[in-house]
Amino acid sequence: MGSGSSTEAEIPNVTPIVDQEELVRPIKENGRYRNPFPTYEDRGFTHLMRLMKDFALNNISGIPWNNKEELDKTLPVLKPDIETLAAGEKSNNLRAVWMGHACVLVKVDDLVVLTDPVWGYKCGPLGKMGAKRYRPPPCSIDELPELDAVVISHNHYDHLEYSTVVKLNKRFGKNLHWFVAEGQAKWMRDAGCEMVTELTWWEEASLEKHGHKYTIAATPSQHWCQRTATDRDKALWASWVVQGPRHNFYFAGDTGYCFGFRQIGRKYGPFSLAAIPIGAYHPRWFMRPQHCNPEEAVEMHVDLRARRSLAIHWGTYVMTVEPYMEPKTKLADAVAARGLHEAAFTTVRHGEVLDLDSETVEDR
């Protein structure tokens, strides 16, 4: 395993995009979805073979697998203060915990939401293959507060894990409302989920909880879906908006950079908080259509009109070959280069509780 920094000299940092006023819709042909974005390109078998060679010859991730002390220093995992997150004297507040990878536990006013929950050591079929976790979850599922809703961005194993879904269902049952993109509801119900709402891009659902009415909306992202050899893109992928009486939260899930984020910002922004992916981006020739890099993530933050953004999709599972701490460094550099305040878009420690109650949309 080498060391160093990923290079992208031959490719611009941010893909030029073409915006449009009409809301973008997913394309469905012969039972399969397609991205409508000009920034998307499919990757086939020959690309995969080249990628495998890159992984073998150019892996500069530098993860210190056998040095827990070093990992605890570079990526500390805190035990989250669940009482601080879920309770407190004030209602209508905004608090969030990064649980690792794309999983965020967020309290939007009085609604407690979990995004893309994955607790497994390996994310792949039967939990025996796929990407390995090098940072543990900050807490167990049994230690979570009472949850109201879960939003799922897409069906890849690092964002949707069967054993985690089963454990959440066992604990919360019909009190937990699952929100998924079109084509995913049957899988969720087969896994034991009782309350499932399936939406396509720009569709909205109302959720009445704790004396308030919340809007949950599915919004575009640039990605793809697959869990078996034969189900490629038979389910849709999405990002999510959670609107409360006072705060507005956005979850990007997993995505490449596209013009859809400007449309989301115009329709639903500004956002009190956005959770935006910054990792698993190298090599760029393969990852660009499906995973944004830190520079593109900052453009997403601007497009979405987010007051604060939280970095996700990094520092948890080994998935690509960039140096494992590079996303954090590049994000800070990109924020500075864009002329944003250093607190506008940041990384946080696993398990750290962010109390953002004072930072409302009205403060913009």
Local confidence band at 46 (pLDDT 50, 70, 90 cut-offs): confident
8 pLDDT band, cuts 50/70/90, is: very low
pLDDT, residue 313, reads: 98
Q: Which residue has the tokens 């034991």?
A: 192
Is 8 a domain residue?
A: no
- Residue 21 placed within a domain: no
Residue 3 lies inside a defined structural domain of this protein: no
In a domain, 108, yes or no: yes
209-221 tens-digit pLDDT:
989 999 999 999 9
Question: Where is 284: in which H helix or E strand?
Answer: helix 284-287
Residue 142 is assigned to a structural domain of this protein: yes
Do 195 and 176 contact (CB within 8 A), yes or no? yes
Helix (H, G, I), strand (E, B) or coil at 280: coil
Q: pLDDT-based confidence at 197, cuts 50/70/90?
A: very high
Give me the mean pLDDT over the 94-114 stretch.
Answer: 96
Mean pLDDT of 41-60: 80
Give 103's Cβ-side CA count (13 Å radius).
27
Q: Are 74 and 349 in contact (CB under 8 A)?
A: no
| Residue 194 phi, psi dihedral angles, 5° rounding | -95, -40
How long is the chain?
A: 364
Task: Determine, yes or no, domain membership for 5.
Answer: no
Contact status, residue 98 vs residue 350, Cβ threshold 8 Å:
yes
Number of domains in the chain: 1
Cis peptide before 277 (omega within 30 of 0): no
Beta bridge partners of 178: 150, 196
Q: Which residues contact 231 (CB under 8 A, 6 or more apart)?
A: 225
The separation between CA 45 and the C-alpha centre of its own chain, rounded to angstroms, equals 26
CB 86 within 8 A of CB 112: yes
pLDDT band at 87 (very low <50, low <70, confident <90, very high): low
CA dist 312 and 251 (Å) reads 10
Per-residue pLDDT reduced to its tens digit, 253-262: 999 999 999 9
- At 130 the pLDDT is 84
Looking up residue 196, the CATH number of its domain turns out to be 3.60.15.10
The domain in which residue 213 lies consists of 27-363
E strand or H helix at 151, and its extent?
A: strand 149-151
301 phi, psi to nearest 5 deg:
-55, -45
What integer pLDDT is reported at residue 176 of this predicted model?
97
Give the separation between CA 95 and CA 93, rounded to whole angstroms: 7
| Confidence bin at 55 (pLDDT 50/70/90) | confident
For residues 273 and 306, the answer to whether their CB atoms sit within 8 Å is: yes
Instruction: Choose between 55 and 265: higher pLDDT.
Output: 265
Region for residue 85 given its phi and psi (left: phi exceeds 0; alpha: psi -120 to 50; beta: otherwise): alpha
- Alpha carbon 177 to its chain centroid, in Å, reads 19
- According to the model, what pLDDT value does residue 19 have? 62
Residue 22 lies inside a defined structural domain of this protein: no
Examine the pLDDT at 58 and tell me if it is beyond 90.
no
Residue 6 lies in a domain: no
Q: What is the pTM of this model?
A: 0.92
Let me know: does 178 contact 141? Beta carbons within 8 Å. Answer: no
* Nearest by Cα to 22 from 302, 256, 220, 263: 263
